[in-house]
């Protein structure tokens, strides 16, 4: 695609439910990143993929958070048993190689009620 | 040691003025320093980036100044325009290691017409 695509763009879920957020990176981009942006805050690193492997998962806030990437392309971020503090905009970015320009999607706004 | 400190938190500039945003980092191993611009409801977009082998990079009205010894870098927006009103994030990353971007907390810029 022309850019990084994220879906859904908005998600409202009840506390305790599981959610899946999807990221379609730019075709051919090997590196993929997930970040979280809380209201009025900076970007908090969650996880980084190189191909299908995740060399750095250090930003995942708890074991309720997991992510996978298949075929070196689409990635899914899963949050189990959502809590209100999980409410944020989840941003995905991809880059051709590591340490080259990272292109961001528009994000998924998650609201846990 | 992974932090990037950004200031000011918010900035108001008259049209035609110069906007200056500063960032400081701790890890001397960082070797890629991008600036991102984010409009409300959108993902961050790369504005300009610099590597530590140069002290200044200019692209149009946007200039990065880099001081390796002080571990500081700044964004200058010349002839600021109302369309520049956005949130600006500095970031730093490593060529080797985990490759993740460490972001500053953001500066909300408002350019008055």
Taking the CA atoms of residue A55, residue A35, residue A65 and residue A24 in that order, the dihedral angle to the nearest 10 degrees is -80
Q: How far lies A104's CA from each of A47, A90, B76, B112, in Å?
A: 14, 11, 23, 28
Which residues of chain B does A103 touch, with a Cβ-Cβ cutoff of 8 Å? 45-46
Assign A94 to helix, strand or coil: strand
Residues 6+ apart with CB under 8 A from B60: none
CA-based max dimension of chain A: 38
Which residues of chain B does A67 touch, with a Cβ-Cβ cutoff of 8 Å? none
Which residues of chain A does B93 touch, with a Cβ-Cβ cutoff of 8 Å? 99
Neighbours of B82 (CB within 10 A): 10
Task: Please give the share of chain B, as a percent, with pLDDT higher than 90.
Answer: 78
pLDDT at A9 over 70: yes
- The verdict on a CB contact (< 8 Å) between A56 and B100 is yes
Q: How far lies A23's CA from each of A49, A78, A103, B38, in Å?
A: 12, 11, 12, 19
pLDDT at A12 over 90: yes
Nearest CA in chain B to A59: B100
pLDDT at A1 over 60: no
Mean pLDDT of B67-93: 96
């Amino acid at each position: 695609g022309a850019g990084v695509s994220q879906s859904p763009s908005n998600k409202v879920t009840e506390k305790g439910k599981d959610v899946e957020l999807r990221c379609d990176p730019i075709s051919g981009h090997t590196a993929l990143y997930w970040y979280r942006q809380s209201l009025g805050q900076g970007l908090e690193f969650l996880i980084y993929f190189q191909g299908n492997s995740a060399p750095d998962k250090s930003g995942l806030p708890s074991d309720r958070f997991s992510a996978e990437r298949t075929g070196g392309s689409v990635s899914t971020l899963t949050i189990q048993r959502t809590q209100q503090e999980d409410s944020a905009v989840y941003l995905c970015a991809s880059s051709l190689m590591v340490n080259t320009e990272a292109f961001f999607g528009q994000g998924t706004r998650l609201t846990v009620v | 040691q992974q932090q990037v400190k950004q200031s000011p938190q918010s900035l108001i500039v008259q049209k035609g003025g110069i906007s200056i945003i500063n960032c400081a980092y701790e890890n001397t191993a960082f070797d890629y320093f991008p600036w991102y611009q984010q409009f409300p409801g959108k993902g961050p977009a790369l504005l300009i980036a610099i590597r530590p082998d140069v002290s200044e990079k200019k692209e149009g009205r946007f200039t990065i100044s880099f001081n390796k010894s002080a571990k500081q870098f700044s964004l200058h927006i010349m002839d600021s325009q109302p369309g520049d009103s956005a949130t600006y994030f500095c970031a730093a990353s490593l060529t080797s290691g985990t490759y993740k971007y460490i972001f500053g907390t953001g500066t909300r810029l408002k350019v008055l017409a």
